[in-house]
């Protein structure tokens, strides 16, 4: 049984966390990537070339949204289109050297800030926090609601 007080605390703290992360990343302090660009560059850089439909499915977004986001990345030179060998009408997106560099700079800035915020946490606490965040995000993915 879920404790209602804990549930209300989680709900509020998630809203506060989202607001603070949005504010911090919008400041440009960590680089010039927005949240969607960061996630897309992470996905493409870590797992290789991918099509827009696959990205839309993975992030539970409509294709037009992902198309706009990837078009912006392409315009900045962060990704490039490569032909889909299985379908000449389709294409995959792959990360460029510039995109990989921008991603790395942005990620390092975020990691530095998180490292600062967690500097007085015990190693076990950070491991538990990481595992619980991952578990929560996975639950969001599989619920699709």
- Please check the confidence at residue 70 and state whether its pLDDT lies above 90: yes
pLDDT at residue 20 in the model: 83
Cα separation, 1 vs 24, in Å, equals 35
pLDDT at residue 29 in the model: 72
Residue 144 — very low, low, confident or very high, per pLDDT cuts 50/70/90? low
Residue 82 and residue 91 in contact, taking contact as beta carbons nearer than 8 Å: yes
- Please check the confidence at residue 145 and state whether its pLDDT lies above 60: no
DSSP 50: B
Residue 44 corresponds to which tokens in the numbers above? 């493409």
Tell me the pLDDT of the chain averaged across its residues.
90
pLDDT at residue 33 in the model: 86
Alpha helices (H) in the chain, listed in sequence order: 4-26, 35-47, 52-59, 63-75, 97-117, 123-143
Between 23 and 133, whose confidence is greater? 133
Q: Which residue's structure tokens are 């070339």?
A: 49
CA distance readout (Å), 129 to 17, 113, 132:
14, 16, 5
Residue 140 — very low, low, confident or very high, per pLDDT cuts 50/70/90? confident
What pairing do the DSSP bridges indicate for beta strands 87-95 and 79-84?
A: antiparallel
pLDDT at residue 80 in the model: 97
pLDDT at residue 23 in the model: 77
């Amino acid at each position: 049984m879920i404790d209602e007080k804990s549930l209300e605390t989680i709900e509020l703290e998630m809203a506060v966390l989202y607001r603070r992360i949005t504010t911090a990343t919008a400041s440009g302090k960590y680089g010039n990537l927005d949240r969607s660009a960061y996630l897309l560059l992470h996905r493409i850089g870590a797992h290789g070339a991918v099509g827009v439909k696959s990205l839309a499915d993975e992030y539970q977004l409509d294709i037009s949204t992902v198309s706009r986001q990837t078009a912006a990345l392409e315009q900045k030179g962060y990704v490039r289109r490569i032909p889909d060998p299985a379908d000449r009408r389709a294409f995959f997106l792959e990360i460029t050297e510039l995109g990989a560099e921008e991603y790395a700079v942005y990620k390092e800035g975020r990691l530095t800030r998180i490292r600062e915020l967690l500097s007085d946490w015990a190693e076990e606490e950070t491991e538990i926090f990481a595992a619980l965040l991952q578990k929560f995000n996975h639950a969001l993915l599989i619920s699709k609601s």
